[in-house]
């Protein structure tokens, strides 16, 4: 099983990198995890809708370069479907049992994810109606994927 997390932007803060590294290490028992960072576009404070669309399109092109046709594409978006931890574990298990060998999760930048990427996604996932920094979202996503594997393996961790 392969988990690919495609993210717009880099992680600068050491505490986020440490948390990400910890969950990647924990997950290595269950799956291969690949973190793919794509360059984010500089975004001025005030932008027009047209400028916003151009920025998202450029970031979307970079995201697309990291995707393979065989990836099951899942975007993280506020309008996506919300799952409990148990339901997400079941969903991931069902995907792997049905023959999916690679899941690509996409975390957008400060403006979100280009509509063409969202349109191509087989699944859109939301963790909350709230907005989180993309750096923190990596940690939250990795923790929930780890929790899902622990739930599916009937191992202690999930409480």
Length of the chain: 159
pTM of the predicted structure, to 2 decimals: 0.95
Chain-centre distance for alpha carbon 54: 22
What is 2-152's CATH topology? Answer: Alpha/beta knot (3.40.1280)
* Cα distances (Å, whole numbers) of residue 4 to 50, 100, 159: 30, 13, 26
Task: Report the chain's mean pLDDT, rounded to a whole number.
Answer: 95
Distance separating alpha carbons of residues 107 and 76, to the nearest angstrom: 6
pLDDT tens figures, 123-133: 999 999 998 88
- Please compute the mean of the pLDDT values over residues 36-52 and round it to a whole number: 93
The domain ranges of the chain are 2-152
């Amino acid at each position: 099983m392969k988990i690919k997390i495609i993210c717009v932007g880099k992680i600068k803060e050491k505490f986020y990198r440490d948390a990400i590294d910890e969950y990647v290490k924990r997950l290595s028992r269950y799956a291969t995890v690949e973190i793919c960072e794509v360059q984010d576009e500089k975004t001025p404070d005030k932008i027009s809708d047209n400028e916003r669309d151009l920025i998202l399109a450029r970031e979307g092109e970079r995201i697309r370069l990291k995707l393979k046709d065989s990836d099951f594409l899942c975007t993280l978006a506020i309008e996506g479907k919300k799952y409990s931890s148990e339901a997400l574990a079941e969903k991931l298990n069902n995907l792997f049992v049905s023959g999916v060998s690679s899941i690509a999760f996409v975390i957008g930048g400060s403006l979100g994810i280009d509509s063409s990427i969202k349109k191509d996604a087989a699944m859109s996932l939301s963790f909350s109606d709230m907005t989180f920094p993309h750096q923190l979202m990596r940690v939250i996503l990795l923790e929930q994927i780890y929790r899902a594997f622990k739930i599916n393996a009937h191992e202690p961790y999930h409480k």
